[in-house]
Amino acid sequence: MNLKLFKCLFLLSLIAAACKNNKTLNVPHFDKDKAYSFVRKQTQFGPRVPNSAAHEACKEWMVNLFKSQGAVVIEQTFETNAYDKQKLNGTNIIASYHPEAKHRILIASHWDSRPMCDQDPDTSYIRQAVLGADDGASGVGIILELSRLLQQNELKDLGVDFILFDCEDYGDAQGAVETWCLGSQYWSRNKHTANYKADYGILLDMVGAANPTYYQEEYSLQFAPKVIDKIWKLAHDEGYGQNFIAKKRQGLVDDHLFVNMIAKIPMIDIINCPPGSQTGFVNHWHTHKDDMNAIDPLSLELLGKILIKLIYLEDQGSI
């Protein structure tokens, strides 16, 4: 073989290798307006407090929507006792794509809302339920838009499970951590399929307010540091480095804690914790101001773009 031919063949081999390692990634467009409409629809039912008519109606709407989007849907009903002795009828909603796939990820949010505005500076609102546009509905709205996109852009090798946990927000502000996140505690002990496993999970909580600030939550770093690295790198690649801060934030009692400790699935919590906040959370947290005025479609798009890219990178095996 002459030298010129050898060089030519060698160059072609390098080009072929480069093409193999740089597959074209077709990422669907995350529609912030669709996500926003899904958030608004939830609030139109009213506060989704367990045992209420609004709770039941919203559940029926979400289950039917997931089914219409082509997901395999399981309604995991359970009965649990709240800290105030109320017997709660809850439902965890699981919507799966490619349930047969071994390689899968879990994306979750809670869909219920708090039965009292106990953080409201105006004490006349304390006995009113929180509408929960941000605290609950924002994460669900993003998930419903992700589900719509998966129907239209079929995955090849990845399985995705969306879980909407119930009875997250019916906890005792002065009591034990186990009074919170009752739906995720139940699911973690009674997974929707036998021997269920996911490579990792991502929890969305209060993700709809303008200019969100996401720190690296302590328990997320403890249980799922590799997932933190993936999300924060993607966020910086998408130009959202100012929103995803590579600093540790105090650990939070949220659904991910019980998924990590009981289900043994590494899960992170993406939760908006603005710097300088007196409560550590958004100002409308557990107040009557957690309504649609608290939601910015650009924030839904910010996180939605990161998550949809993550899904298709995982499907391609490129992350």
CA nearest neighbour of 165 among 244, 32, 78, 255: 255
Residue reference for tokens 């109606």? 57
In sequence order, the β-bridge partners of residue 186 are none
3-state SS of 152-203 is HCCCCCCEEEEEEECCCCCCCCCCCHHHCCHHHHHHHHCCCCCCCCCCEEEE
CA nearest neighbour of 26 among 293, 309, 306, 256: 309
CA gap 202, 232 in Å, rounded = 12
309 three-state secondary structure: helix
Q: Which residues fall within 8 angstroms of residue 266, CB to CB, at 6 or more apart?
A: 200, 201, 223, 224, 226, 227, 260
Q: Looking at the domain that runs over 26-316, which CATH code has it been given?
A: 3.40.630.10
CA gap 200, 186 in Å, rounded = 18
Report which secondary-structure segment, H or E, holds 267: strand 267-271
Contact indicator for 88, 182 with CB cutoff of 8 Å: yes
Q: Give pLDDT, residue 21.
A: 43
List the chain domain ranges. 26-316
Q: What are phi and psi of 173, to 5 degrees?
A: -60, -25
What is the full per-residue pLDDT of the chain (319 aa) written as tens digits? 555 554 444 545 544 444 444 457 899 999 999 999 999 999 999 999 999 999 999 999 999 999 999 999 999 999 999 999 999 999 999 999 999 999 999 999 999 999 999 999 999 999 999 999 999 999 999 999 999 999 999 999 999 999 999 999 999 999 999 999 999 999 999 999 999 999 999 999 999 999 999 999 999 999 999 999 999 999 999 999 999 999 999 999 999 999 999 999 999 999 999 998 989 999 999 999 999 999 999 999 999 999 999 999 999 999 8
Structure tokens at 4: 């010129």
Q: Give pLDDT, residue 25.
A: 86
| Model pTM score | 0.93
CA gap 146, 151 in Å, rounded = 9
In sequence order, the β-bridge partners of residue 72 are 96
Contact indicator for 233, 167 with CB cutoff of 8 Å: no
Q: Which residues fall within 8 angstroms of residue 10, CB to CB, at 6 or more apart?
A: none
Q: Report the amino acid identity of residue 211.
A: N
